[in-house]
Amino acid sequence: MTASTFRLWLDLARAGNFPSVWSNVLAALVLSMPVAGAWPPWWLIGLGFLAGSLTYAGGTTLNDVADARFDLQHRPERAIPQGRIKRMLAAWVGSAQLALGLALLVLAGASYYWVIALAAVIVLYDWLHKGWTGSVVLMAGCRGLLAVTVASLPGHEWRPEFLGWVGALFVYIVVLSLLARREYKPGAPAEKLGRWVRRMLAFIPFVDAIALAAVSAWVPAALCALAVPLGKWAQRKAASG
């Protein structure tokens, strides 16, 4: 695989948004610990980051598979409409990424029920979002259910601080998604809206950082805050265009 082809796959996976996924996973692990501000094991953090990244990559790759016809008209520069990555191959790779990410969550001990719910919401969003405005709830549900699934790991609890953070994250993603939907409406300032969407995506970790700071988990809060500039850098590096 050449460097340019690898970058195409990173673009399909929206790898530029991985830092915000890692931040969500870290916040979910820390905020659901039985003792406020306690640290989960490092191996669990690493496994959570990997599972979250693969799940996210699978969902976004399948999103491009579902949007192939739309992108042919509105985003012809993307890899699938250009024919640089075959749609069927992307479907297989995205499915494998999603399955592996979910399997890692199960392996870590996450609830089967929440893993299945997460998978269902991701697939429903990918196939319904272009034709249904209410899909913004599904988009927010993807992030929220990832957090809930992580918090279903053995030894973790749905503490009030955790539930409050999940609610705030859900609202933030709904607003972001509504803004993103306007990008392709006739007469909309697409370039300006696109910049705002990318900024809001990069600033998702601030929601995590604020929630962690509220329980005096200062180190993980600082790490989540650092995910913002890391995300902006990753967005530039992962983009194939």
| Cα 162 to Cα 29, 78, 87, 90, 221, distances in angstroms | 9, 37, 39, 35, 14
pLDDT of residue 90: 94
pLDDT of residue 241: 45
Give tens-digit pLDDT for 20-55. Answer: 999 999 999 999 998 877 789 999 999 999 999 999
Task: Annotate 207-234 with DSSP letters as a single string.
Answer: HHHHHHHHTT-HHHHHHHHHHHHHHHHH
**235 confidence band (pLDDT: 50, 70, 90):** confident
Apex CA 113: angle with CA 112 and CA 117, to 5°?
A: 115
The mean of the pLDDT values for the chain is 89
Q: Is pLDDT of 74 > 80?
A: no
Give tens-digit pLDDT for 98-132. Answer: 999 999 999 999 999 999 999 999 999 998 877 77
In the chain the domains, ranked by start, together with CATH numbers, are 3-238 (1.10.600)
Give tens-digit pLDDT for 151-205. Answer: 999 999 999 999 999 999 999 999 988 877 766 666 556 566 667 777 888 899 9
pLDDT of residue 58: 97
Q: Which residues, at least 6 apart from 159, have a Cβ–Cβ distance to it below 8 Å?
A: 31, 32, 36
Q: Is the pLDDT higher at 190 or at 87?
A: 87
- Residue 173: name the closest of 222, 102, 121 by CA: 121
